[in-house]
């Protein structure tokens, strides 16, 4: 569903976009493409954007408020830049307005079934005024043949060099799966958060799912 100020768009197997023709709503919104890097890494997540909707209903000057990484941020901006909106009005005249948009990236169900181990960029916790860290490189998470469905939520710090540190399992349905996730995360690399042009440490929470 699409609402003014909080626009949701899914990149699943079928388009999930339904336009609501009210002031400020998207009236033409093709779904974003999945980046090849994110697809190979089996990343699912959400990108938050803030864009200016001009008097002609086009999205301009989009910036990423909350990134997902691995090319999904760029795909989200590219897609929204093509969307058409019903422009805002004031006193019967069209005006430019700012909108917050959330783009959800989800792998098709069949692909998720064939390739278990999907992970989701869940929450960022950067210091006030700092940019969010972004995923740069990932190591595969080992999934044993015949393994049943499981999930794990981890909280960890991303240091100034972009390495994951102080990994903590918040909850898990399978201790073995949590251990595999923890082992893989130690090999991941991130683009660290920045404050005033300087790399700083930040924390992050992520969900990891094995199977359906």
pLDDT digits over 19-68, tens only? 223 345 667 788 899 998 888 777 888 899 999 999 999 999 999 988 88
How many Cβ atoms sit within 10 Å of the Cβ of residue 207? 19
Of 74, 72, 50, which is closest to residue 62 (Cα–Cα)? Answer: 50
pLDDT score at 38: 85
User: Could you say which residues of the chain have pLDDT below 50?
Assistant: 1-23, 110, 112-116
User: Quick one: fold of 116-210?
Assistant: TolA/TonB C-terminal domain (3.30.2420)
Query: Which CATH class, in words, describes the domain spanning 2-105?
Result: alpha beta
Answer whether 2-105 and 116-210 agree in fold.
Answer: yes
pLDDT score at 30: 85
Domain boundaries defined on the chain: 2-105, 116-210
Global pTM reads 0.65
């Amino acid at each position: 569903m699409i609402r003014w100020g909080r626009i949701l768009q899914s990149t699943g197997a079928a388009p999930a976009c339904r336009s609501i023709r009210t002031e400020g709503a998207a009236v033409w919104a093709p779904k974003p493409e999945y980046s090849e890097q994110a697809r190979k890494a089996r990343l699912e997540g959400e990108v938050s954007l803030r864009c200016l909707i001009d008097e002609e209903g086009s999205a301009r000057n989009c910036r990423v408020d909350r990134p997902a990484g691995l090319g999904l941020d760029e795909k989200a901006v590219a897609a929204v830049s093509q969307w058409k909106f019903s422009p805002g009005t004031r006193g019967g005249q069209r005006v430019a307005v700012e909108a917050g948009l959330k783009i959800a990236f989800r792998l098709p169900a069949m692909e998720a079934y064939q390739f278990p181990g999907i992970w989701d960029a869940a929450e960022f916790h950067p210091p006030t005024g700092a940019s969010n860290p972004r995923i740069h490189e990932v190591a595969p998470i080992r999934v044993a043949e015949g393994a049943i469905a499981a999930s794990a939520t981890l909280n960890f710090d991303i240091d100034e060099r972009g390495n994951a540190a102080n990994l903590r399992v918040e909850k898990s349905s399978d201790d073995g799966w949590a251990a595999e996730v923890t082992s893989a995360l130690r090999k991941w690399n991130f683009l660290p958060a920045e404050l005033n042009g300087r790399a700083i440490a930040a924390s992050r929470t992520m969900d990891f799912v094995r199977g359906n």
